[in-house]
Amino acid sequence: MYATLKNRALVFLNEVGEFSIFGSRFFKEIIKSPFQVNEFIRQCYVIGYKSLPLVTITAFIMGLVLTIQSRPTMTKFGAESWLPSMVSLSLIREIAPVITALICAGKIASGIGAELGAMKVTEQIDAMEVSAINPFNYLVVTRILATTFMIPLLVIYADLIGIFGGYIGYNVKGSIGIYRYFSAVFEHLEFIDLLPAVIKTFFFGFFIGLIGSYKGFTASNGTASVGIAANESVVIASLSIFLIDMITVQITDLFF
C-alpha cells in the first residue's frame, strides 16, 4: 500500500510539474509574434457568443429561484423590502460568478480538451509543426486569452439576467414596478461589491482555458484519450474554480 501511495504521489507531482511548465510556456509564447488575431477573434465568438443561450437560461433561473426561495424567510423576519438588495448582492458577489464559471467549465473546458485532444491523436498538431506553424501559439494562446476575457463578460451578463430573473420572481407573489425594483437593487450595491467578483472571474477564465488546453494538447495516442482529456478538463477546471474562489474570498475579507 505504501508503494501504491508513493507511486500516486509521484504521478501527481509529475503532473503538477508538467502543468506548471505548460503554463510558463504560455507566458513566453504570448509575447512572440505573430499574434493570431483572426483565431483569437474566432475563439471569442465560439467561447463567448455561443455560450450566451446557456448562460442566459442558467442566470435567469438562478435569480428567479433565489428570489422565490428567499422570500418566505425574508417575510418571516419582516425584511421583504430588502429582498431585491439581498438577491442582487448574493448574485453579484458569489453565486453568478461561480455558477457561470462552472457552466463554462463544463462547456468550454471540455470542448477545448476534446478539440485539441482529437487534433493531437490525428497528428494535426504535428502537421502544423512540419508546416512551420507554431501550434502552441495558434491553438493554446488564443484559446486561453479568449477564455480569460470572455468569462468576465459572461459573468457580468449573467449578473444582469439574474437580477432581472429576481424581478420576475418577486412579482410571482407580489407586485413591484421595474423602476422601483432596480432602485432597491442599486440602493445597497456599491462598486466594491462588483470589483472583487469581476477580478476573480479573470482567474476563472484563465484556468478554464489553461486546463482544457493542457489536457488536450498533451493527450496520449488513441481515441480513448480524447474522452479522457475532455472529462479531466471539466473535473480539474471545476475544482480549480472552487479553490480560486476560496482564496479570493479570504483575500477579499482581509482587504475589503
Amino acid identity of residue 80, one-letter, is: E
Q: Give the dihedral sign, CA 145/146/151/154.
A: positive
- pLDDT, residue 3, reads 64
- Which set of grid coordinates corresponds to residue 240? 480549480
- pLDDT, residue 220, reads 79
Number of neighbouring beta carbons within 10 Å of residue 27: 9
Q: Is the pLDDT of residue 136 over 70?
A: yes
Number of neighbouring beta carbons within 10 Å of residue 174: 12
pLDDT average, residue stretch 92-106:
92
Q: Is the pLDDT of residue 206 over 90?
A: yes
User: What does each C-alpha distance from 40 to 103, 121, 225 come to in angstroms?
Assistant: 21, 23, 26
Q: Between these two residues, 181 and 77, which has the higher pLDDT value?
A: 181
- pLDDT, residue 1, reads 62
pLDDT band, very low/low/confident/very high, at 2 (cuts 50, 70, 90): low
Q: Mapping DSSP to helix (H, G, I), strand (E, B) and coil, where does residue 174 land?
A: coil
Q: Between these two residues, 212 and 15, which has the higher pLDDT value?
A: 212
- pLDDT, residue 76, reads 79
Q: Which residue has the cell 463567448?
A: 48
- Residue spans of the domains in the chain: they are 36-255
Residue 218 · residue 125 · CB < 8 Å: no
- pLDDT, residue 41, reads 94
Residue 215 · residue 236 · CB < 8 Å: yes
Output the pTM of the full model. Answer: 0.90
201 Cβ neighbours under 8 A, 6+ residues apart: 97, 100, 101, 151, 152, 155
- Which set of grid coordinates corresponds to residue 214? 493542457
Q: Is the pLDDT of residue 205 over 80?
A: yes
